Structures are given as structure tokens and as C-alpha cells.
């Protein structure tokens, strides 16, 4: 109990300390901003700071108190201090009143409040001098500009723990806020040290070290301008150029590390002194430069690492490197395609084991002769004088695949009449032929396997050749777009590890790696919406499944969404008396933008039929995803089914590929039941006759192409559904049942099966499966 109490007390103490530090930080920022005087002792940055803190949701009260104290530190004699304090207080009170109303709180509203409050304070001071009002107009202009700038910077500081990336605009706002702080700190000194100048030099060194010469020079000019505005000596015009030069030198020397950057800053200051002054009196105090350099080298490395993470952008590969990688990949793919093509020729070029070869016939004859004819008196007549006739007899029996027990009638009449050991001869020949037929059966299986392997190698070779052509398509990488994606994802709260955006044939493709959501799938929609906002095109995820368990990183590929999309659903019912449906089906979004719907009906019903249909559907789906040609897929599935069952088992294939970009459906039907296309209240039947797969060596499918429109439904079904009520009745049923029917495609498919079952007496004479794909426009859905 005591341990828990101490832990609770420690947590409370830690919370209080962090809150105190936060209040001190906001108060210090207000104090420094309010110390900046412009246009005749006005303090516009104090008013802007109060407005920005309110707009950003920060600790505005602490900043207001700090701003009041800061304004009092620079004099109260002429009444302008009270005017500025009144303006800041009016902004705070005015925003508090606005928050109690339903008025939309926008940056423009805050700008208006700040200007009105400042104008009211100016009017209350009672000055009628035109010059004073002109200076107030300039001061109010600065306030109006800096309110949204400071609001962005203060909001980024407040979100420092959650944001992982800052945009270029946000960095600019941060730089202007830093410049305001530097301006406010000018004039404050601790012995020979001036903290504001040390901070300014640190910012220039750090920016050059992190972001390079361009950013370092720009930061130096901005901070130099801020310092010049509050200095009144004759060196004022040269400060901007001096700090700008120092920032550029720091960026140029960043490869030398932090010591090189610090030394570069000091040397650049010395060079500028000699050129401008012609004396040894440096423009920027040496003691502050040295102090800033020492602090810069003592800052922990992880601090710079964190800042680099906030400012990182994608690092696009150079065109030369990409071309080298692409050229190497094309060369390797070409070589592998050629190698596989030669391997395919080697397998497909081997002779088929058709009719028996001369050696096989001779070996069979010798085997029979050794068993029955070695000591026969008529051996010479059969095996020497009439050798050709004996050879022809064996050849004929082998060609006829005569593997049953031989009878006297199977032999030539002369042989049967002359043979003295006919029964022994028939037994020996029967055994020899049965052995030959068994060997031939195994050889035939080997030949089939060889052909399947050869065709697969040929298909892979063709696919590699196609990939080679695809790699040579012009690809345009866009670094600016990648940076915009990083910024948008950061705003959406998604931690991006890597992003690559390119255009292929004028269509966007984005490969992105980001922190996984734990398998919930919630990140996909957020990423897709963010990409769509940046690219101004609807994007969809082309990567199937969740791979977010790979070290907590999810890697996805997004492509431009096609003009159409498909919503699919299915329903199945096994034959009455069976527990397993013999039909199998699959839906699949393909990488090329097409959508696949596949249905297979295995012969018969039950477990065995399900195995045949499942094998067909799985092969079609996986080979289609691998990019194989349709002809090769059908040949391969047909041969594998033949090898599995020897022609005794077979399966139908109904295969529909929907081109979502062109709005066109290609249907391949192999002994499948009709497909129906429902458009409005009209139904079109599509059918084509062909023998099922696994029955013959060659397969002759039917090919049909149909144009689709948004709202069309593609309805595929097994013959158990159609045969239940007939094709014409099915057309009428679909038109009456599905026209204007609300519900998902799955619910519709279930309703079709339910109605067919009702009309057929409540008994399923065969397996029933219905697939429905509804085409729609995604942007209109």
C-alpha cells in the first residue's frame, strides 16, 4: 500500500512539474515576443502572440501574463505600453466571448479580433496625430500577418510528441517564431554573453547542418533581418548578408560533421568582416559565436536525429541509378526467359511413347520364347523361317493394348493350328503383354507430367518476357508528390516509413510502408483517402490481405481506382442428402485492375466432386493472378484433372473476368451452365457448349465478351440451379426477383436459391451455387 501511495505521489509531482515547465515556456515566449518594438514603440508581436496561442489551443493565459511583463520591461512612459497591454487583454476576453457562441472559430476571425482590439486601444489613447495612425496601420498589418504564422508554429510545438514530420510551410512558421524570440531577447545580456544572439547563431548552424546550404542561408537571412530591426548601429545593413553567408557555409561543410559546421560559421564571419569592415572588428561578436559553436557540438546527437526525422523527405533515386537497376533487371529477366524457353523445348520436344518401338517388340518376343519355345521342335519354324509373321503378331497385340487373358482366337490361324504348346504360349504372352501395358501406363503418366511441366515452363518464360516489356514502360517518379503524401499521412496520424509515388502510363501507383494498425484493417481506408486527396484521383489498395505483422510495418500498394467497381456475393446449397457441396467458386481482384469470378461444378456430388471443382478453381485463380494466359491455364487444368482421375472424373469451369477500366466482361465457359446478365428489368442469357475439363486431351472452351454498364448484374450459377426450374423460367425469375431489389449480392444469391428450391418441391436434386457481381461507379456509390 505504501509503495502504491509513493508511486501515485511521484506521478502527481511529475505532472505538476511538467505543467509548471509548460507554463514557464509559454510565459517566456510571450515575454520575448512582447519586447519587440516596431514603428515607433508599438509591440505588434505581443498581440499576435496572444491571438495565436488562443487559436492554437495553447496555454494562452501564461503567454498573456508573460507578454504583459515583457511589455512593461521596455518602458511605460508614453502610454503605449498600456495601449498594447489593453489590446492583448481585449483579444483574450473577446475570444473567450466568441467561444460561448456558435460562431465558427477560424484564423480570419482571430485576425479580425486582434485588429479590432488594437484599433480600440489606439483610439482609447486619444491620439489624433496622422503619423501615429499610420504607424498603427503598419503595426496592425504585422499583427494580422503574424497571427496565423505564430498559430501554426505554436500548434506544432504543442504537438511535438505526436507529429513526426513538418512541412516546408510549418518550418517557415517555426523560423519566423524563432526570429521573433531572438528579436525579443536582443539587449538582454549576462556578462559578456548575449543569449538571444547565441540562440540565433545556434539556429543558423543547426539549419545548415540538418537541411543544407539553401535552408541554412534562408534561415540566416530571416534571423539577420530580425536582428537588424532591433539594432541601431552602423553595422545593421550587413547583418542579414553576414548571417546568410554563414548559413550557406554551414550547409556546405555539413559533411565534415558538427566541428566543421561550427568552424565554418566562425570563419565565414571573419571573411565577411574583412570584406565589409576592412578591420579586425567582427560584425557578429566572437564570444557569442564561440559559445554557440561549443553548445552546438555538445547537443546530443539524438536531438539532431529527431529534428531530421521531422524534416525528412523521400530521397528519390537518381535517373541514372534507376536506369542501371532497370537495365540490369531487364537483362536478367531476358536471360531467365530464354533459359526457361529452352527447358520447355527440351521437355516438349521429347518423342511421345505411342506405338511400340522395335526394341520393345523384340524384348517381349524373347521373354515369351524363353518361357515356352526354347526346347520346342518347331522353334526354328516360328522364330527363324516365319520371324516376320511372329513379329507382326506381337506388334499387333501390343498396338491393340490387348491386356486381358489371351484366347486361341486372338492369335493368327496358322499359329494357333501349328503350335504344340498353345496353352503355355497363351499364358506367357498374356503375362508379358500385361507387364508391357503396365509399363506403358506409367510411361504415359510420365509423358503427361512432362508435357504439363513443359507447358508451365513455356508459360513462365512468356510471362517473364511480358515483364521485361512492362519494365521498359516509362515510369515518372515525383519527389514533390512523395513529400506531399508524407505530409498528408502525418496530418492523418499515420507514421510513414517509406513512400514511392510514380506514374505508369499516366496512372498513379504508390508503394507505401507505414506503422501497422495491429491487423484491424482500419489503416487502409485512411491511407486511401489521404492519397486520393493528394493525387486528386480515387485510389484503392491493390495488396490483398494484411501483412502488418512484419516487424510492425504494413507494406501496401495503391493504384488509381478504375471507372467501375464490383460488389460480389455467393450462396451454395449441397444436394439433398449430402453434407458437402460439390461446387466451388472464387472472387479475386487482380493486380491489372480486372476482377475475376470463377465457378466450377465437379462431376456428381459430395466430397469427391468438391475436390475436383476446388482443384479447378484454385488453379484458375492462382495462375490468373500470376499472369498466365487463359489458354495455358485451361490446358494445365485439363491435363492435371486427367492425370488425377484418368478421365473418370471431370469438372466444368465458368470463368468471368471483368475489365473495370473498360467496363467489359469476358466469359470463358467449359461445359458450364448459362450465365445471365441483368440490366434493369431485362435478362440476357449467355451459354456455350463444350466438354468438361478432365475428359479429353484437348479442351475447346467458349469465349464471349459483353459490354457492361453501371448497375448491371452478372449472375453465374451451377447446373443444379438452372435445371431445377429450366432456363426460360430462370430468366423470368431473375427479372421478377432481382429488379429493384434492395440488398447485397449475397442476399440476392440466397434469395435465388431459396426460390428455386421452393419451386422444385423443397428438394435439391443437385448441388446449387449462385454467384452475383453487381457493377457500379465507385465515386457515385
Supply the pTM of this predicted model. Answer: 0.52
- Burial zone of 471 (CB within 10 Å; 0-12 exposed, 13-18 middle, 19+ buried): middle
In this prediction, what percent of the chain has a pLDDT beyond 70?
74
Distance CA 585, CA 665 (A): 17
Using DSSP, state whether 626 is helix, strand or coil: coil
CA 646 to chain centre: 44
Residues 197-211 have pLDDT tens digits of 888 888 888 888 877
In the structure, what pLDDT confidence band is assigned to residue 399 with cuts at 50, 70 and 90?
low
Mean pLDDT within 468-481: 66
Residue 531 burial class via C-beta count within 10 angstroms: exposed 0-12, middle 13-18, buried 19 and up = buried
**CB 757, CB 578: distance < 8 Å:** no
**Distance between CA atoms of 268 and 271, rounded to whole angstroms?**
5
Largest CA distance in the chain: 150
Q: What does each C-alpha distance from 329 to 326, 476, 509, 511, 562 come to in angstroms?
A: 5, 18, 20, 19, 29
CATH architecture of 476-560: 2-Layer Sandwich (3.30)
Three-state helix/strand/coil letters over 15-27: HHHHHHHHHHHHH
- What is the model's pLDDT at position 1? 46
167-314 is classed CATH 1.10.1760 = yes
DSSP 42: B
pLDDT of 475 > 80? The answer is no
How do residues 632-670 score in pLDDT, each as one tens digit? Answer: 778 777 777 776 655 566 788 888 998 888 888 998 888
Instruction: Return left, alpha or beta for 552; rule: phi > 0 is left, psi -120 to 50 is alpha, else beta.
Output: left
pLDDT > 60? residue 781:
no
What does the CA dihedral 235, 240, 244, 245 come to, rounded to 10 degrees? Answer: -30
Region 99-105: what's the mean pLDDT?
A: 81
Q: Tell me how far apart the alpha carbons of residues 727 and 674 are, in angstroms, rounded to a whole number.
A: 8
Tens of pLDDT, residues 214-272 = 778 888 887 777 777 665 555 555 677 778 888 888 888 877 888 888 888 888 877 77
Radius of gyration, CA atoms only, the chain: 43
Helix (H) or strand (E) holding 241: helix 236-252
At residue 346, the pLDDT reads 60
Q: Which fold has domain 565-776?
A: Phosphatase 2c; domain 1 (3.60.40)
pLDDT of residue 716: 92
CB of 697 closer than 8 Å to CB of 691: no
pLDDT of residue 403: 56
Counting Cα atoms < 13 Å in the Cβ hemisphere of 663 gives 12
486-515 residue pLDDT tens: 888 888 888 888 888 877 767 788 888 888
> Which pLDDT band, with edges at 50, 70 and 90, does 321 fall under?
low
577-598 residue pLDDT tens: 888 898 999 998 887 778 899 9
The average confidence (pLDDT) of the chain is 76
Locate the domains of the chain by residue range: 16-164, 167-314, 363-445, 476-560, 565-776
Backbone dihedral angles phi then psi of residue 662, each to the nearest 5 degrees:
-90, -15
Closest C-alpha to 609, from 641, 570, 654, 643: 641
**Cell (9 digits) for 583:** 461446387
Amino acid at each position: 500500500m505504501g509503495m502504491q501511495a509513493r508511486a501515485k505521489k511521484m506521478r502527481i509531482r511529475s505532472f505538476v512539474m511538467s505543467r509548471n515547465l509548460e507554463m514557464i515556456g509559454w510565459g517566456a515566449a510571450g515575454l520575448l515576443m512582447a519586447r519587440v518594438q516596431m514603428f515607433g514603440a508599438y509591440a505588434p508581436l505581443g498581440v499576435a502572440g496572444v491571438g495565436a496561442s488562443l487559436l492554437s489551443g495553447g496555454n494562452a493565459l501564461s503567454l498573456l501574463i508573460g507578454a504583459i511583463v515583457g511589455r512593461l520591461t521596455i518602458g511605460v512612459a508614453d502610454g503605449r505600453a498600456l495601449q498594447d497591454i489593453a489590446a492583448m487583454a481585449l483579444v483574450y476576453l473577446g475570444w473567450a466571448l466568441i467561444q460561448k457562441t456558435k460562431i465558427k472559430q477560424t484564423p480570419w476571425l482571430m485576425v479580425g479580433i486582434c485588429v479590432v482590439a488594437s484599433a480600440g486601444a489606439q483610439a482609447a489613447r486619444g491620439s489624433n496625430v496622422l503619423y501615429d495612425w499610420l504607424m498603427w496601420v503598419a503595426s496592425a498589418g504585422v499583427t494580422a500577418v503574424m497571427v496565423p504564422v505564430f498559430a501554426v508554429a505554436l500548434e506544432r510545438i504543442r504537438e511535438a510528441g505526436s507529429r513526426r514530420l513538418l512541412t516546408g510551410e510549418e518550418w517557415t512558421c517555426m523560423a519566423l517564431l524563432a526570429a521573433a524570440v531572438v528579436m525579443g531577447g536582443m539587449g538582454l545580456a549576462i556578462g559578456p554573453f548575449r543569449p538571444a544572439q547565441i540562440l540565433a547563431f545556434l539556429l543558423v548552424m543547426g539549419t545548415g547542418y540538418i537541411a543544407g546550404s539553401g535552408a541554412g542561408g534562408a534561415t540566416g537571412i530571416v534571423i539577420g533581418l530580425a536582428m537588424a530591426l532591433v539594432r541601431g548601429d552602423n553595422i545593421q545593413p550587413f547583418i542579414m548578408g553576414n548571417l546568410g553567408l554563414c548559413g550557406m557555409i554551414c550547409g556546405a561543410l555539413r559533411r565534415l560533421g558538427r566541428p566543421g559546421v561550427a568552424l565554418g560559421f566562425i570563419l565565414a564571419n571573419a571573411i565577411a568582416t574583412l570584406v565589409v569592415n576592412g578591420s579586425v572588428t567582427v560584425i557578429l561578436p566572437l564570444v557569442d559565436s564561440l559559445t554557440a559553436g561549443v553548445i552546438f557540438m555538445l547537443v546530443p546527437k539524438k536531438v539532431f536525429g529527431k529534428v531530421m526525422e521531422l524534416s525528412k523527405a523521400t530521397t528519390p533515386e537518381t535517373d541514372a541509378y534507376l536506369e542501371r537497376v532497370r537495365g540490369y533487371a531487364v537483362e536478367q529477366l531476358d536471360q531467365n526467359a530464354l533459359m526457361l524457353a529452352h527447358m520447355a523445348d527440351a521437355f516438349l520436344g521429347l518423342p511421345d511413347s505411342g506405338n511400340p518401338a522395335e526394341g520393345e517388340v523384340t524384348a517381349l518376343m524373347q521373354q515369351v520364347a524363353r518361357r515356352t519355345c526354347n526346347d520346342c521342335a518347331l522353334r526354328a519354324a516360328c522364330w527363324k523361317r516365319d520371324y516376320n509373321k511372329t513379329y507382326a503378331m506381337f506388334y499387333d497385340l501390343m498396338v491393340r493394348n490387348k491386356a486381358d487373358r489371351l484366347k486361341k482366337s486372338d492369335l493368327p490361324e496358322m499359329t494357333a493350328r501349328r503350335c504344340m504348346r498353345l496353352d503355355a504360349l497363351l499364358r506367357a504372352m498374356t503375362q508379358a503383354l500385361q507387364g508391357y501395358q503396365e509399363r506403358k501406363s506409367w510411361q504415359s503418366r510420365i509423358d503427361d507430367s512432362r508435357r504439363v511441366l513443359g507447358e508451365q515452363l513455356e508459360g513462365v518464360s512468356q510471362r517473364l518476357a511480358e515483364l521485361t516489356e512492362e519494365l521498359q514502360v516509362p515510369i515518372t517518379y515525383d519527389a514533390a508528390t512523395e513529400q506531399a503524401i508524407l505530409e498528408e499521412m502525418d496530418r492523418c496520424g499515420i507514421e510513414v516509413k517509406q513512400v514511392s509515388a510514380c506514374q505508369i502510363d499516366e496512372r498513379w501507383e504508390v508503394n507505401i510502408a507505414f506503422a501497422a494498425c495491429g491487423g484491424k484493417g482500419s489503416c487502409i481506408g485512411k491511407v486511401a483517402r489521404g492519397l486520393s486527396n493528394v493525387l486528386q484521383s480515387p485510389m484503392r489498395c491493390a495488396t490483398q490481405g494484411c501483412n502488418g505483422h512484419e516487424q510492425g510495418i504494413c507494406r501496401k500498394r495503391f493504384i488509381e481506382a478504375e471507372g467501375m467497381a464490383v460488389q460480389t456475393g455467393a450462396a451454395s446449397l449441397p444436394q439433398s442428402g449430402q453434407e458437402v457441396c460439390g461446387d466451388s467458386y472464387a472472387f479475386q481482384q487482380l493486380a491489372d485492375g480486372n476482377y475475376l469470378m470463377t465457378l466450377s461444378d465437379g462431376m456428381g456430388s459430395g466430397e469427391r466432386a468438391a475436390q475436383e471443382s476446388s482443384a479447378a478453381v484454385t488453379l484458375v485463380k492462382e495462375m490468373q493472378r500470376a499472369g498466365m494466359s487463359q489458354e495455358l491455364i485451361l490446358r494445365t487444368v485439363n491435363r492435371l484433372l486427367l492425370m488425377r482421375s484418368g478421365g473418370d472424373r471431370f469438372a466444368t469451369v465458368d470463368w468471368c473476368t471483368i475489365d473495370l477500366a473498360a467496363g467489359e466482361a469476358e466469359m470463358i465457359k467449359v461445359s458450364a451452365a448459362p450465365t445471365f446478365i441483368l440490366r434493369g428489368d431485362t435478362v440476357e442469357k449467355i451459354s456455350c457448349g463444350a466438354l468438361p475439363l478432365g475428359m479429353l486431351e484437348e479442351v475447346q472452351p467458349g469465349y464471349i465478351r459483353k459490354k457492361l454498364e453501371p448497375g448491371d448484374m452478372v449472375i453465374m450459377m451451377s447446373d443444379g440451379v438452372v435445371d431445377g426450374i429450366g432456363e426460360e423460367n430462370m430468366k423470368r425469375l431473375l427479372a421478377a426477383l432481382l429488379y429493384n431489389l434492395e440488398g447485397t449480392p449475397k442476399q440476392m444469391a440466397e434469395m435465388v436459391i431459396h426460390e428455386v428450391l421452393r419451386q422444385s418441391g423443397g428438394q435439391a436434386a443437385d448441388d446449387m451455387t449462385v454467384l452475383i457481381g453487381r457493377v457500379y461507379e465507385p465515386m457515385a456509390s
